[in-house]
Structure 1
Amino acid sequence: MDEAGKRPSKIEEMTEKKTFRPKRAMILAAGLGKRMRPLTATTPKPLVEVAGKALIDRSLDRLVDAGVETAVVNVHWLADLVEVHLARRSSPKIEISDERGALLETGGGIVRALDKLGPDPFLLFNSDSFWIEGSRPNLEVMFEAWDESRMEALLMLASTVETVGYAGPGDFVMERDGLLARREERKVAPFVYAGTALLHPRLFEGAPEGAFSLNMLFDKAIEADRLYGVRMDGLWLHVGTPDAIAKAETKIRESAA
């Protein structure tokens, strides 16, 4: 309550809320890129170009626009090529999480990098997808929606039927307040995880050592009612196969027309 004993209105509470802006991010770039072969026989998937720009640079440019200062990038397959490419960038600052010795999957890779990511919530990007913005910058929407008191993770979600390069049954159903639940078996879910998330380091408390999927921790957060999502505005482009490159390039040309 204020000095006069009045309870702040909902609008006043929203106005007073300070938007969280992460300064660090992680880009998952250590995968083998098997579905992208034969391109990835000699080129790591993060360096595959779409419309003249490497996939990983699309992620890094997005982070710069959002004010992220440091990006941790994990490397494994053709790691030297990824490191040489990243050394050419002046921003954001790049820190390498080396997985040459063993591929740790999505969850294990983040656990390996936690010391570099620090104690605050951080952004996570998959390096094989990006999006064409809609009317509002999607990362800004995520930052505004973040609520550390309720969330362990906040996922960017795309409509299952409004994507490029994705043909699966979806991942999640979402309540009006953003709370997420898994798709039921043999059913189609309205939303697919778009490969971008805001994660609190406490999500990884008690996580196993070695290789494991981040999905295991998403399920743990669901059980605690602490996994949330926001629907992205725009078009999600998943570039997981050679065929998807041409489809993504077509959509990029159409959006620029």
Structure 2
Amino acid sequence: MTPAAVAAVILAAGEGQRLRPLTSLVPKALCPVGNVALLDRALARLAGLGLGGPSTVAVNAAYLADQVVAHVGERARLSVEPDGPVGTSGGVARLRGWIDGRGVLVGNADAYLADPLREPGKDIAAMLDGWGGDTVRMLTKPVLPGDTGGFGGRRFAGFSLLPWRYVRDLSPEFSDLVRTVWRPAEAAGQLELIAYEGAYLDTGTPATYLAANLHAAGVDVDLGDGSTRTPRRGDGLVSQGATVTGSADDSVVGAGAVVAGRVRRCVIWPGARVAADEDLFEIVRAGDHTVPAMAH
């Protein structure tokens, strides 16, 4: 099946409660990783597969939906859930009329993916290669030590591909794809696990959010699976619009940020400030919020 017969949905409705207070400022999908919003990273990945524009790509929104709507603009079809998030399954179901018989590639906006060659979309092209439109496909990595659940010794890595025959029966009520699609497909022998060779992180916690930023900046970071690290060690990523009169080592500093003190392995959001007397280590600074990201 060719990409022309497939639509894509990026799920961006979640509150991101584990990332509070960061997500009191912006929805999780708009949190920056390497100074690029997670949602923009997902849309770029789809563009690498030839999927773009409101006829082939949709984004759902609920929490702080007005921010998501304004950010997406005309780049994708928007599906707003006015009464709050309806889960991954409900979010896809609300777009059935738009999907209209096509297969659908569903991605989580909070998934950080980095292909080995840093070419968006290239590694996940296997999700579409040779697909006949009958099976459910899931992008996967090996399970981590201590993981429970999973699928055949592997864990979900941010994207799944659903045939129309599964989508057409989904309810717009609150539910998740684990219950409505993935487990039923697994039980029926219709779940294909596609191995992803790049780096993957669910950025839902301060620790994983910091790790994704450091990885995007080329800073050495343990991703937890014992196998995937950055190919080089860098000095971090400082936006040209930032002002650093102190020092920013192995950190990500956004546009308009001012760093007068010292930051090491930190994420400083656009417009945030670090005073001259501050020495921050493994911290996320967003507005007036200072969020410790790692346990020491």
Tell me if TM exceeds 0.5: yes
Residue of structure 2 equivalent to 1:29: 12
Give 1:206 deviation, angstroms.
Answer: 3.3
Provide Cα deviations, 1:200-257, integer angstroms capped at 9, x if missing partner.
1211343334111111121221222111111111111221112222211222214474
> Does residue 169 of structure 1 match 2:148?
yes
Q: 2:72 aligns with which of 63, 68, 86?
A: 86
Q: 1:194 aligns with which of 134, 139, 157?
A: 157
- What CA distance in whole angstroms lies between the structure 2 residues aligned with 1:119 and 1:141? 21
Residue of structure 2 equivalent to 1:12: none
User: What is the aligned length?
Assistant: 213
Residue of structure 2 equivalent to 1:240: 204
- What CA distance in whole angstroms lies between the structure 1 residues aligned with 2:19 and 2:27? 9
| Structure 1 unmatched ranges of 5 or more | 1-18, 174-189
Residue of structure 1 equivalent to 2:131: 146
Provide Cα deviations, 1:167-191, integer angstroms capped at 9, x if missing partner.
7435111xxxxxxxxxxxxxxxx31
- What CA distance in whole angstroms lies between the structure 2 residues aligned with 1:244 and 1:146? 32
Aligned-residue identity in percent: 28
Residue of structure 2 equivalent to 1:131: 113
Q: 1:219 aligns with which of 173, 183, 186?
A: 183
- What CA distance in whole angstroms lies between the structure 2 residues aligned with 1:205 and 1:112? 10
Contact 1:25 1:122 in 2 (8 A): yes
Q: 1:229 aligns with which of 193, 202, 215?
A: 193
* Off by >6 Å, runs of 4+ in structure 1: none
Question: Relative to 1, partners in 2 of residues 1:193 and 1:145: Cα closer, same or farther, differing over 3 Å?
Answer: farther
Q: Secondary structure, in 3 states, of the residue corresponding to 1:103?
A: coil
TM-score where L is the length of structure 2: 0.67
| Structure 2 unmatched ranges of 5 or more | 220-229, 233-296
Structure with bigger RCO (C-alpha 8 Å, 6+ apart) = 1
Provide Cα deviations, 1:142-183, integer angstroms capped at 9, x if missing partner.
21142324x1x1000012239xxxx7435111xxxxxxxxxx
Residue of structure 1 equivalent to 2:29: 46
- What CA distance in whole angstroms lies between the structure 2 residues aligned with 1:86 and 1:256? 32
Question: Relative to 1, partners in 2 of residues 1:169 and 1:251: Cα closer, same or farther, differing over 3 Å?
Answer: farther
Most deviating of 213-222 and 35-44 = 213-222
TM-score where L is the length of structure 1: 0.76
Q: Secondary structure, in 3 states, of the residue corresponding to 1:236?
A: strand
Contact 2:115 2:199 in 1 (8 A): yes
- What CA distance in whole angstroms lies between the structure 1 residues aligned with 2:176 and 2:66? 25
